Chain A
Amino acid sequence: MAEGALNNQREHTAICFKAFMLKNSTKSNLNLYDHLSRLLTKVMDERPENVVDIIEDMSREVKQEFLQDKQSTLRDMPLATAAQLLAEQQRLLFSRRGGDDGEQEEELVETPLPNVSELGFFLEQAGVGLGREEMLMVFLALKQLVDSQPLVRCRLWGKILGTGGNYLVAECEYREGEEEEEGNEETVEDEERDGEPRDDDEEADVVEVIDTLPRSTFKPPPVVPKEDNRTGVNKFTYFVCREPGLPWVKLPTVTPTQITAARHIRKFFTGRLDAPIISYPPFPGNEANYLRAQIARISAGTQVSPLGFYQFAEEEGEEEEEGARDSFEENSDFEGIPVPEMAESLSTWVHHVQHILQQGRCVWVNLADKPEDDFEEEGDEEEKEEEPDEPDPEVGPPLLTPLSEDAETTNTPPWSSKMSSTLISQFALAVLRSNLWPGAYTYASGKKFENIYIGWGLKFVGEGYIPTIPTIPQREYQSGPEITESLDPSLEEEQALKATLEEQRAAQEETEALGEDEEEEEEEDD
């Protein structure tokens, strides 16, 4: 009987406690009983390891799930995330355009599309690349580009990374006669130049003062003319896109001022082509121009090929003095250099893009305005007079110079080369890596080679980067007696001056008096 009573009491306590647990919380309208039962059901279903360590987190999760389910009586309209938008656009890459089936067989023969899959495979052996899936997307994007533009050659130049977004760059060459003229990029530069001397004029007009304000004597240096399309720096046209699937944008041609300015500044890319470049020295243009200038510099510095792959076209007559040979063609007899040799010595590689001179162009242009008469009067037939104003022609290394002639900077050799694999050396590639432009890679294997750049678009500058300090402000007023300050004379000096003045006056009176006497004498004489 006593046990019965005890059991009753236990039951009673249990029922009381259960009622207590079933009390809804005033804040969240949950009760402990339901919560614990849900939690333990979850543990039973999932049976995670070491559940006692994570039980608090699980409890929180259960609460969150429960609450959220209750609240959503309205249906959430799912916002399209950026990822979904991009996926929509990338889906287009995978669709084949109807109506092209007949033409495709022709195009297979001579398509300007590069074999990016092969490129991807070789680069992966070299330890460089974008990952297989991304390479395929790039391949499809290039195909889209080739289909939409009349190109005769197209090459994947590489990828430039930026802080807010990346650029995929394709190097292309238009077919003859297909290119459109661009007249837009010049306006940005001209506006920059004209803004300078206007302010002084206005001030002088408005304020009528006897002293006119000094005029600025700054003369901007003469503008170096841009190189023509298809020559020199502008030999190829470049297209960029942010992600494969997004539309390709053509980059404007590059001017020498942009290249020289790009050499002085150091900026990351942000991923937006219209972003302004705020820097000192000021860069003439926005990010699209800066991108193009960096692409030009990188190409000129790091595009290399095995020795003998390209050769100069046969020339019969004389060579021009100044003209560097700028055209080459593929050597059909190229046999291929064995890979270990290519990995060992740098003289088996040559540059095949023209070097950019100090001026910002590949072919030097004489900017001095010397009239031609002087030369004829001298009667000499030699090339240049050594006059102080005459600038010396800038010369760069000619096309197809081997890499062993590249200059070393800051104690690092400009290139590092190695084999892609030491274990399987029969099928390995020779890989070349630039130390001046980190991110530029080249591989060669037999008759195949390719260059690529995947990097941030900045050159290696050794130790820390110091931004250019602005020049000293120009002197406004020329020094002269009107504005030179002098000390006030001291008391002794004043008195001394007074004394000398008095002496002078006294002396003058004497001479006048003498003069009168003389005149009187003369008059008397006459």
Chain B
Amino acid sequence: MDSSTLYYSLDLVSGSGLTLSSEQKAALQTSLVILKRNNKFNRVLFWGKILGIKGDYFIAQGVSEDEMTDKKSLYSFNCVDWHLLPPATEAMLAEVSATAKGRFVGDPSHEYEHTEIRRQGEGDEAVEEEVVVKVKEEKRLASTVHTIDKEVSVVPRGAFIKSPHGLVQTNRSFEGLSSLEAGKLSYFLHFTEPQKLKKKSILELADLNPSIDFLDPLSEDIPKGNRVPNLSLHHSFTVILPFPPWVGFLSHMLSVFRNRTSSLKVPPFCGRQKCNTNMRLLMFGMLLIFYLFILLGKLT
């Protein structure tokens, strides 16, 4: 969440159990401001916390021009000193997914090892080589942050617009979603490159507003039905969307109930806080194998 609104939005996302201690909050408020000035960011966001066995990482993101692509991630242990994370590339993602398993350790120089047996040459001349692939935890951190952003970042519809130059920016006229709209999944969009938008028919595209509907809505996710916007009634203005594959990620958004009679407007914002222990459920792939076994069982 935005560094300027951190201190009051943190209370709203703590329904999931993890908050920051007052010392960390205070440290964040001072260090994020300095970070913003030093790196010349437009906005600095506190992204969240990744729990490791020996220590926890605090992640912040700085945004320059384009909200979607111009992001830099930084990590810290004590919310005061921040280190830049390397940008995640395809090669890094592939390496990390093959090598790093289990929990985060909490030490950025920790190396995960994975021995692969590679065959060089062809046919009879094949020589087997044992290649040890090492990946540092820093890279794993970078790729995890990137993956989570790509898969689970959600924004309410209308909060970001695409300017005529093609840059994605915050929409200053966004007043929030009404309570009716906040209950529907189609008003929440994935904040990454759209996958399904291009495949839509012209009939569907006609209803969309190209400046705000340039992202995929959540209602078109497969499998359907595993995300229900939970209007957290206690706070009565917060929508909580749990994301089961990434346990621990909660996307909270403050949506203002449109009150026609008053002209008071509270600036809406969306906060993404994530505290994750890197536990990933691979249920969906396994379900296919499950059905296959049932079939085989009938044949014997």
Across the interface, which residues of A come within 8 angstroms of B283, CB to CB? Answer: 464-465, 467
In the assembled complex, how far is the CB of residue B184 from the closest CB belonging to chain A, in whole angstroms?
Answer: 14
Annotate B206-241 by CB proximity to A: 1 below 8 A, 0 otherwise.
000000000000000000001110110110110000
Contacts A462-B102, A463-B101 known; A127 to B21 CB distance under 8 Å?
A: yes
Across the interface, which residues of A come within 8 angstroms of B11, CB to CB? Answer: 131-134
In chain A, positions 104-144 with a C-beta closer than 8 Å to chain B are: 124-134, 137
Contacts A164-B230, A435-B53, A466-B286 known; A412 to B102 CB distance under 8 Å?
A: yes
In the assembled complex, how far is the CB of residue B185 from the closest CB belonging to chain A, in whole angstroms?
Answer: 13
**Which residue of chain B has the shortest Cβ distance to A161 in the bound complex?**
B16
> Is A420 a contact partner of B21 (Cβ separation < 8 A)?
yes
A478 on the B face (CB < 8 A): no
Across the interface, which residues of A come within 8 angstroms of B85, CB to CB? Answer: none
Across the interface, which residues of B come within 8 angstroms of A48, CB to CB? Answer: 172
> Is A127 a contact partner of B18 (Cβ separation < 8 A)?
yes
In chain A, positions 196-228 with a C-beta closer than 8 Å to chain B are: none
> Is B21 a contact partner of A244 (Cβ separation < 8 A)?
no
A473 on the B face (CB < 8 A): yes
Bound CA–CA A381/B35 (angstroms): 77
Across the interface, which residues of A come within 8 angstroms of B294, CB to CB? Answer: 470
What is the number of contacts between chain A and chain B, taking CB atoms within 8 Å? Answer: 141
A174 on the B face (CB < 8 A): no
Name which of B63-71, B89-97, B119-127, B274-282 contacts chain A: B274-282
> Is B300 a contact partner of A86 (Cβ separation < 8 A)?
no
Across the interface, which residues of B come within 8 angstroms of A83, CB to CB? Answer: 179, 231, 233, 236-237
Bound CA–CA A310/B89 (angstroms): 53
Bound CA–CA A57/B279 (angstroms): 43
In chain B, positions 1-56 with a C-beta closer than 8 Å to chain A are: 10-12, 14-24, 51, 53-55
Across the interface, which residues of A come within 8 angstroms of B242, CB to CB? Answer: 161, 163
Interface size bucket, B side? Answer: 35 or more
**Which residue of chain A has the shortest Cβ distance to B237 in the bound complex?**
A83
Contacts A83-B179, A439-B17, A455-B17 known; A412 to B103 CB distance under 8 Å?
A: yes
**Which residue of chain B has the shortest Cβ distance to A81 in the bound complex?**
B179
Contacts A124-B19, A161-B16, A470-B297 known; A438 to B277 CB distance under 8 Å?
A: yes
Across the interface, which residues of A come within 8 angstroms of B173, CB to CB? Answer: 54, 57-58, 61
> Is A130 a contact partner of B233 (Cβ separation < 8 A)?
no
> Is A125 a contact partner of B21 (Cβ separation < 8 A)?
yes
Across the interface, which residues of B come within 8 angstroms of A164, CB to CB? Answer: 228, 230
> Is A469 a contact partner of B290 (Cβ separation < 8 A)?
yes
Across the interface, which residues of A come within 8 angstroms of B231, CB to CB? Answer: 82-83
Annotate B259-300 by CB proximity to A: 1 below 8 A, 0 otherwise.
010000000000000000101111101110010011001101
A472 on the B face (CB < 8 A): yes
In the assembled complex, how far is the CB of residue B92 from the closest CB belonging to chain A, in whole angstroms?
Answer: 21
> Is A130 a contact partner of B286 (Cβ separation < 8 A)?
no
> Is A423 a contact partner of B23 (Cβ separation < 8 A)?
yes
Annotate A362-390 by CB proximity to B: 1 below 8 A, 0 otherwise.
00000000000000000000000000000
Interface residues of B (CB under 8 A from A): 10-12, 14-24, 51, 53-55, 78, 101-103, 171-173, 179, 226-228, 230-231, 233-234, 236-237, 242, 244, 247-248, 257, 260, 277, 279-283, 285-287, 290, 293-294, 297-298, 300
